Structure 1
Amino acid sequence: MLSNPIIDRWLSSLTAKYPDLSACREDIEAAYRCLSRAYEAGGKLLVCGNGGSAADSEHIVGELMKGFMSKRPLSAGRRGLLESLFQEDGAYLADHLQGALPAISLVSHSALMTAYANDVAADMVFAQQVYALAKPGDVLVAISTSGNSGNVVRAVQVARALGAATIGLAGSGGGRLADLCDRTIRVPWTSTPDIQERHLPIYHTLCMMVEQDFFGDRHGMEAEGDADVRGA
Structure 2
Amino acid sequence: MKDSVARSLKEGSELRLKMAETMSAEIATAATAIAKAFKAGRKLLLFGNGGSAADAQHIAAEFMNRFLIERPPLPAIALTTDTSVLTSIANDYAFDEIFSKQVKALGKKGDVALGITTSGSSPNVLKALRAAKKLGMTTIALTGEGGKAASLADIALQIPSRSTPRIQEAHIAVGHILCELTDTILFKDVGKR
Normalising by the residue count of structure 2, what TM-score does the alignment of the two structures yield? Answer: 0.88
Q: 1-side partners of 2:28 and 2:184: how far apart?
A: 14
Q: 2-side partners of 1:39 and 1:172: how far apart?
A: 29
Q: Counterpart of 1:108 in structure 2: which amino acid? A: T
Q: How does 1:113-152 map to 2 (within 5 A)?
A: 113-152=86-125
Q: How does 1:34-113 map to 2 (within 5 A)?
A: 34-72=33-71, 99-113=72-86
- Is it true that 1:182 corresponds to 2:180 in the alignment? no
Q: Counterpart of 1:131 in structure 2: which amino acid? A: K
Q: 2-side partners of 1:163 and 1:214: how far apart?
A: 23
Q: 2-side partners of 1:65 and 1:182: how far apart?
A: 24
Normalising by the residue count of structure 1, what TM-score does the alignment of the two structures yield? Answer: 0.74
Q: 2-side partners of 1:181 and 1:214: how far apart?
A: 24
Q: Which runs of 5+ in 1 are unaligned?
A: 1-14, 73-98, 222-232
Larger CA Rg, structure 1 vs 2: 1
Q: Counterpart of 1:19 in structure 2: which amino acid? A: L
Q: 1-side partners of 2:14 and 2:82: how far apart?
A: 37
Q: 1-side partners of 2:28 and 2:181: how far apart?
A: 10
1:80-110 Cα distance to aligned partner (Å, 9 max, x none): xxxxxxxxxxxxxxxxxxx111000000011
Q: Counterpart of 1:123 in structure 2: which amino acid? A: D
Say if 1:71 and 1:215, in contact at 8 Å, map to a contact too. no
- Is it true that 1:30 corresponds to 2:18 in the alignment? no
Secondary structure, aligned partner of 2:150: helix
Q: 2-side partners of 1:195 and 1:17: how far apart?
A: 9
Q: 1-side partners of 2:174 and 2:121: how far apart?
A: 20
Q: Which runs of 5+ in 2 are unaligned?
A: 1-12
Q: Offset at 1:151?
A: 0.4
- Is it true that 1:158 corresponds to 2:128 in the alignment? no
Say if 1:70 and 1:212, in contact at 8 Å, map to a contact too. no
Q: 2-side partners of 1:189 and 1:28: how far apart?
A: 16
Q: Counterpart of 2:35 in structure 1: which amino acid? A: S
1:171-207 Cα distance to aligned partner (Å, 9 max, x none): 123x211211001101111011110111111110110
Q: 2-side partners of 1:216 and 1:33: how far apart?
A: 13
Secondary structure, aligned partner of 1:141: strand
Report the equivalent of 2:167.
195
Q: Counterpart of 2:26 in structure 1: which amino acid? A: D
Q: Counterpart of 1:215 in structure 2: which amino acid? A: F
Q: Counterpart of 2:124 in structure 1: which amino acid? A: N
Secondary structure, aligned partner of 2:156: strand
Runs of 4+, deviation exceeding 6 Å: none
Say if 1:106 and 1:129, in contact at 8 Å, map to a contact too. yes
Q: Offset at 1:17?
A: 9.3
Q: Counterpart of 1:154 in structure 2: which amino acid? A: K
1:149-168 Cα distance to aligned partner (Å, 9 max, x none): 00000100100000101000
Secondary structure, aligned partner of 1:137: coil
* Identity among equivalent pairs (%): 42
**What's the RMSD between the two structures over aligned residues?**
1.6
